[in-house]
Amino acid sequence: MKKTLVIVLALLLGTAVRAQSDDRGFEIAKNLEIFASVYKNLNLNYVDDVDPGKTIKTAIDAMLSSLDPYTNYYAESQMEDVKLQLLGQYGGVGATIMQRGDSVYIADPYEGMPAAEAGIKAGDRIVAVNGESTSGKTTADVSSAMRGQAGTDVVLKLEREGKVFDRTVTRREIKLPNVPYYGYVGDDQNIGYIKLDEFTNDAAANVRSAFVSLKKEKPGMKGIILDLRGNGGGLMNEAVDIVNIWVPRGQLIVETKGKVASKNMKSYTRLAPEDTEIPVAVLIDGNSASASEIVSGSLQDLDRAVIVGQRSYGKGLVQNILPMAYNSQMKVTVSKYYIPSGRCIQAIDYTHRDENGKAVKVPDSLKTAFKTKGGRTVYDGFGIEPDVEVEPEYMSNIAIALAQKFLVFDYATDFYRSHKSIAPATEFEISDEMYADFCRYLKEKGLSYNTVTERVIKQLRDVAKEERYDEAIEQQLKEMEVRLASEKESDLVKHREEICEMLKGEILDRYYYDRGRIEGALRTDKVIHRAIKELTK
């Protein structure tokens, strides 16, 4: 009887599964037919011609946007963007560009790349690309025109100091360095420092090579700092191999779990480590995501490193690239990842939305406690919480205005054109004379900006007028405005340290490129100073 009952239940279950599968299949077929019918009628009846590629791409993007921001479709024309995301390389001239009004400018040519070798400088306005004017075009339009197959030429018409000239640049395969800088920090220069920007191909090999070089140069090195601030992630295998530099072979680092059980996997360290004893600090912030969180989270779970900075982004989702018809591709979220303690650090639940359609954060009530290898308590659901938190520094109103109005950028450009050389990046500082000159420059340019307080006063005046209290409080509002104006006049003094750091970084970038900017910032970086303190306790 029991055997018969089991068989009947199994048959019923199988029938239910098949029925559910058939229902789902019917729903898919029905809705695909509806979609095709909608487009067919649009094509036949809409008053203007409908671009099939553009319209269908819009429909696909809208469908995917209802899932998560990491599931995307890429047409054949976007393959260079995909290559840049995955490999950190593309065919182009090697320079970043920026929008200023209706014009596009060179923001930063990369050291040793075709643009820099052709004499193109930061601040050059791009007038035309291959004879086509850039007026009114976006940075995406201009970037697309400048990119292309390695070995081909692109003609750039540029303007510098009122003079227009052409530069013919031969495109190359541009591979951005994932480790733009490594060196030593600390008063005794005995703490190693490695900056990692992206988890692209060979990231682990480059971090390992940098660590080996640092240790070889200074065998008595007292600690190592891995800087993952601003690092949005990349390839998971590179993250595992980076952890492996300081963790023994055979250690579970990350496990992925998704809908398709056969694709679930566990990733272990597979190489001999370089050093399992040296103190390690990992720097993170709110823009450290994905692979950055695998590295920082697993080293935290294994009690192998101290994590310093601010809470990370909280991206615990794994994507796969799937080839599609007509040389297009699709990036799909296929699983979640779990670090050694068993926790997933995904902070946003994309399956649930609020009344405005916005994905919600995992509530505190659903966060679960886990234990590190040494028994410390850590939590899932909201990124990696640093062991040592350093309060983030926010830009002042005047600093924001100087950046938005490109005044620091333009001053650095003018400074570079009138000064052949400066001190090395490790020594260069903004002198009193230079800062006074910058202040004169701002006066000539007529610097003006609004503070949050000024905006609040204006809002208060508008509300008071609506409620007919304006006459009663107008005198107090005017007095507040006068005091605020007086305070603003001293902003260049109050925020001198912050502004000098901005100036220093921009000027160093002109002479020594990105490496110089990083090197110059190390001496005053408060997060690095705190990491050094932790490593030398």
Active site residues: 290, 301, 315
Residue with tokens 């055997």: 3
Is 312:300 a contact under the CB 8 Å cutoff? no
Backbone angles phi, psi at 222, to 5 degrees: -90, -10
Burial 278-299 (b: 16+ CB within 10 A, else e): bbbbbbbbeebbbbbbbbbbbb
Q: Hey, how many other C-beta atoms are within 10 angstroms of the C-beta on 527?
A: 23
Please spell the DSSP secondary structure of 204-235, one letter per residue: HHHHHHHHHHHHHH-TT--EEEEE-TT---B-
- Dist CA 108 CA 145 (whole Å): 17
- Dist CA 312 CA 296 (whole Å): 9
Q: What letter does residue 122 receive in the DSSP assignment?
A: T
Is 493:439 a contact under the CB 8 Å cutoff? no
Half-sphere exposure in the Cβ direction for 182 (13 Å, CA): 22
Q: Hey, how many other C-beta atoms are within 10 angstroms of the C-beta on 49?
A: 7
Structure tokens, 431 = 């002198």
